[in-house]
Every structure is written in structure tokens, then in C-alpha cells.
Chains A and B, each alone.
Chain A
């Protein structure tokens, strides 16, 4: 296939009731569509798609979601809520913000949380200069498609020095339709200088249907802003999930992101970090589980253009059955980025013969006064550890699960608050229980 042939994916555009007629935004959409067409369908010759085929995705013939899910009642979503988690809750269903299911609660002065479509309709100027600025003009195909169809999602705008004590919880719920549908939620989080927030982002589904979520998040952190961000991807086992996360960090800002990849048959995540000021700290971590015929594909692109920034990339994977994962971590350190401190690690536990991981951590260093390291491991459960547990009366199956959870603990323990950590630890435990472990 060559450039220009993105017709299968152009079908994703044209969601009904999109807010149009805002000049600058229509321009952004148009430019993005041109870019998508110019990029064409990804092929394995491209480094970013070397291990991942979009064939399965292209074959589905997804069409945009319609509006019929607005009939959901609050009790319909109770099963996806986390007990004991007190949050400013924003619920999107199939990419649409549904105020009736959300509970924003009281917000302090200087903090605005709402739906993208809502704000575009009432106050588009509030988003001008932010929306599509972090993602930039070099977006890869799926982000460009998201931008071309830019429609609805979460917007968080926090003024200078503002702070939220409770986390913002973004629940993206997918509900199966008769036809395979694609949702393209677009989220924008802007923390002005010194603002602080926590964001919990959960992708969940009702039922096991086939659908696609192609989401883009733009996170913009001003000077000294602090964002803690926990992402839990637990889509339907038959779903396709795509995330493009774009993070811009101002001077002295701090971002701490934990990515948990559990669901979907095919999941692709791009994490793109740009430092816009010195002394910023970025901590990216993640845990992925892939079994059955699942694919978990992670691409990290951390660009140290400026001096004295710190980044950590810590990803772990547990693969079983015929599960596959890709970890492509790229940390670039420019010539002028002296005093960069970067450490990347990717550790994988393979529980079966059929499981596979392609891991490729890369450090591209052009400065000479830096502290950088990377490491990768791919291993099995240590027989010694297994025997130790069994010698204490613990069955082989339970012992394997304990060791997997022990391996995962380094990442799971980063989940906050306790209610969320317990919920996801339990979720991972149950997922491993179902896994054929040999």
C-alpha cells in the first residue's frame, strides 16, 4: 500500500453532531486530514510499525459511533465504578461526554472541567492556543485521524497555582453496538504554572463486543506544575485500542504516569514527551499483560532537547498463551541537553512457549555530560522460587500467580489511592488466574 490510500480509515471520520464552523479548528482538522492521507497506511518497513500489523484493524470496517447510547442510566454504570474512590468523575460513553453520568462535584476557583464538545460550542476561545498544540504538526496516522475528526472528550483547564485534592477520574466506557464502531475521544489537560492534579483514566467496557477506541490525550504542564496520571486500559477482549499521549512539560514541572494495559485484542500506545523548560521530571511506567491472541504495543518517544531534565521509563510485561508485546522505547538527548538524567528499563516475564516480546530500548545521546542507562530482560519464572513456595504447601498454580504478582508489584504499587491499587491488583490477579500458565 502506498501514501494516499487511507480510505479504510477515512470512514472513521464524520461523527454526527460534531461542532464545526470554528475557523481555526476547521483548519486544524483539514491539515490533519491532509497529513493522514500523506502518511498512508502504516507498513512494516516503517520502524514504528515493524512488529505490528494494522491488517486486522483495517479489515474491521469500523464506522463512527452514533448517538444512541445517551439512554444509559447511572445504575447502568455502577458495575464499573471503584468502591471507595472519591473523585471528580467524568464519564464518556463511546467517546461522548455524558453529564448525566458524570459527577464533577465542587471545583475550586480557577479550575474548569467539562466536555470538549460543550466547551467548543459555548466558549471555543478558551481552547484556542491549547487544543492540538501539544500533539503538534507531526502526528502519526491515528492521531492525525483523531485530529481530523476532532469532536468530544475531556477538558481540564487549571489556572496558575490551582490545586485539586481529589483525583479527576475519566471513565471511558464502551458499549457494544450492532455494527463495529470507532470512537475517537480527544482529551486536553492544561495545568498552568504551579497547578497540581491527579488524573485517573480508565478505559472499560460493558460486554465483550468488537469496537475501536482511538484516543488522543494532550497534557500541557506549565512551570512547576505537578500531574500524577494513572491509566488503566481494560477494554473488551475483542476491542482495538489506540492511544496517542502527548506531554509537554514546562520548567521544573513533574509528571508521574503509570500505564496499565490489560484488555483489548490489539492495543497500540504512543507516549510522546517534550520538555519545554529545564529541571522538569518525567516518570513513565507501565505494566502490560498479554495472553490469548492479544497484542500490546508500546512506543515511547522522550525528547531531551533542554538541559537538566530527568526521565524514567520503567515498563514490565507478563505474557502468556500466544500473547505478544512490543516495547519500543526511544530516549533522545540533544547536544545541548547536558545534565540529562535518563533511565529506561523493560522487563518481561514469559509464561509460555507461544508468548513473544519484541523489546527495543534505545538511548540516542549527543551530549557528553549526562547520566543515562537502559536495560532489558526477558525471562521465565525461576524454578528455584517456584520450588520454595511449593515446599511450603502452596500449589504450583497459586505459586506461579504469587510470583507474577510479585513481579508486577513494582508497578502496581505506584497506583494511588489505595482503593484503586487494590482494585487493579485484584484485577491483575484474576486475569492471571484465567491464564494458562504453562
Chain B
């Protein structure tokens, strides 16, 4: 489903990704771990098409399409979803209006009919339950004045609504207390299915106690230096990143 080969990217003059390789099959959940500054968030942003990153080499194939050639909205239409580490506040933009615009834009791109107001509200109520979200959030401006936990849940709520093929969760666990983390993880797990793949970007192992990955990759100095099963995450938890970085440097 997703095949990343030799991906290189700069932020300004600085090379952050230095030849990253990753293959993800349908329904698989891959965790990407690594120390701060290793390029985890850059990778997530490059996949989603954010400005300010220059891809200098490599390729990203998404369901047979050249992902890097697409505009951010076209990537969303193709089934990509990024759950932001820091969801953006949009003062004055009503959450319901935003969600409806997003869902209908994606439906339209798939050749599906736009949802009318009634079917849309029904769908939203159904999805809200998954995230234990209060429907008062729908009447407020997008993320504006939301607590940290509400923002993260609103991200996963959007994911539930937009039903992506590939979801990238960028440090979704950061800033969440244990209860909020459990709610978010339950929401993510409810959305797992054999057709939907996920990339879980995280610094800590604790999220992976709740979202069990098929594979764990360690990203350091712009490359994946080690891949393994979920045991690798536990080992990182126990021993830290130091040993693996040394091995990586030695290799």
C-alpha cells in the first residue's frame, strides 16, 4: 500500500531525512520510534505534503500513485490522513461546518454523493460515541479553546469520519494523561481493519501498550536503523535509545 524508497528531505539547508525506506501493507500498523530530532515528524509532514520541506531524493508510492506529486488535498482524497501533533486552532470556523466540508470534499473526489444535513448529523453522532466526545464540541470553532485532550480526540474523530486508507498519528500520545490516552487508543483500535493501515509516530513506548503494532521501526539521523516486532519497543523502553544508536553508528 505504501512504499517509501530512499526518501531524502531538507528543511531549509539542513538535510533531515537521509534515505528512508519503509513498506507498509494493507491493514498493518507500523510504529516509528526514535529520539527527538531524528526526523519522525518531518517524515509525517513530508507524507502529508506540508510546505517548508524540500524532497531531494527518493520516492513514495501510495496505492500505485506518486504521492509526492499530489497537493495536500489530493493526498487526503487518495486516502491519507495526518493526525496532527499540534492540531491547529481555527477561530471563527465552526467545527460542524468544517467536518462537513471535509467529508463532502473527500466523498466528491471518490465520485460519491455529498451527504445532506440529516445523514451527516446521524453519521457524526455515531462517530462521536467512539471517541466519547461531547457534541457541544461540534458547535465550537475548530480546536479553538479546546483542551489538549479534546484536540487529540477531535483529530481521531476526524479520522473516524473521513475513513482514510492510511492514517499517520504524529505523537498523538504527547500531552495526554492516562485516561485521555486510553480513550484515544480505544478510538484508534476501533478504526483498525484489514484495509486500513496506520503509522504511529511516537517517542514513548506507552502508546504501544494500547495500540499494538505489527512492526516497530527506529528512526535515527534520518534513516530507519532497526526494524522489528513489538518486542523492539519494549526493549527500547527498557534500555533507551543509546545502545541502538551506537550499533547504528557502528554499522
Q: In the complex, are the beta carbons of B102 and A394 less than 8 A apart? A: yes
A410 beta carbon closer than 8 Å to chain B: yes
Stretch among B60-68, B90-98, B177-185, B186-194 lining the A interface: B90-98
Q: In the complex, are the beta carbons of A406 and B72 less than 8 A apart? A: no
Stretch among A128-136, A144-152, A199-207, A385-393 lining the B interface: A385-393
Q: Mark A380-408, 1 if CB is under 8 A from B, else 0.
A: 00111101111111111010001101111
Q: In the complex, are the beta carbons of A406 and B92 less than 8 A apart? A: yes
Pair count A-B, CB < 8 A: 76
A393-B88 contact, Cβ under 8 Å, with A398-B105, A402-B101: no
Chain A residue total in the interface (Cβ 8 A): 23
Q: In the complex, are the beta carbons of A393 and B90 less than 8 A apart? A: no
B195 beta carbon closer than 8 Å to chain A: no
List the B side residues contacting A396 at CB < 8 Å.
71, 73
B29 beta carbon closer than 8 Å to chain A: no
Interface residue ranges of B71-103 to A (CB < 8 Å): 71-73, 75-77, 81-82, 84, 87-88, 90-93, 97-98, 101-102
Q: Mark A73-114, 1 if CB is under 8 A from B, else 0.
A: 000000000000000000000000000000000000000000
Picked from A383, A391, A392, A409, the residue with its CB within 8 Å of the CB of B92 is A409
> Interface size for chain B: under 10, 10 to 19, 20 to 34, or 35 or more residues?
20 to 34
Q: In the complex, are the beta carbons of B92 and A387 less than 8 A apart? A: no
Q: In the complex, are the beta carbons of B92 and A390 less than 8 A apart? A: no
B202 beta carbon closer than 8 Å to chain A: no
B109 beta carbon closer than 8 Å to chain A: yes
Nearest Cβ on chain A to B184's Cβ, whole angstroms = 18
Q: In the complex, are the beta carbons of A403 and B76 less than 8 A apart? A: no
B49 beta carbon closer than 8 Å to chain A: yes
A390-B71 contact, Cβ under 8 Å, with A406-B92, A406-B141, A410-B92: yes
Picked from A385, A392, A402, A403, the residue with its CB within 8 Å of the CB of B162 is A392
Q: In the complex, are the beta carbons of A383 and B93 less than 8 A apart? A: no
- Docked pose: A327 CA to B162 CA in angstroms: 43
Q: In the complex, are the beta carbons of A407 and B106 less than 8 A apart? A: no
Q: In the complex, are the beta carbons of A384 and B88 less than 8 A apart? A: yes
Nearest Cβ on chain A to B183's Cβ, whole angstroms = 21
Q: In the complex, are the beta carbons of B105 and A406 less than 8 A apart? A: no
- Docked pose: A103 CA to B71 CA in angstroms: 54
Q: Which of A384, A387, A403, A410 has the most chain B CB atoms inside 10 A of its CB?
A: A387
List the B side residues contacting A395 at CB < 8 Å.
73, 105
List the B side residues contacting A409 at CB < 8 Å.
92-93
List the B side residues contacting A405 at CB < 8 Å.
92-93
List the B side residues contacting A406 at CB < 8 Å.
90-93, 141
- Docked pose: A387 CA to B50 CA in angstroms: 7
B116 beta carbon closer than 8 Å to chain A: no
List the B side residues contacting A403 at CB < 8 Å.
90, 93
Which 7 A-B pairs rank lowest in CB-CB distance, beginning with the nearest?
A406-B92, A393-B76, A392-B102, A409-B92, A406-B93, A388-B88, A390-B72
Can you list 28 residue pairs at the A/B interface with Cβ under 8 Å?
A: A383-B51, A385-B90, A387-B50, A387-B72, A387-B88, A388-B87, A389-B102, A390-B71, A390-B72, A390-B76, A392-B73, A392-B76, A392-B98, A392-B106, A392-B158, A393-B73, A393-B162, A394-B73, A395-B73, A396-B73, A398-B105, A402-B97, A402-B101, A403-B90, A406-B90, A406-B91, A406-B92, A408-B92
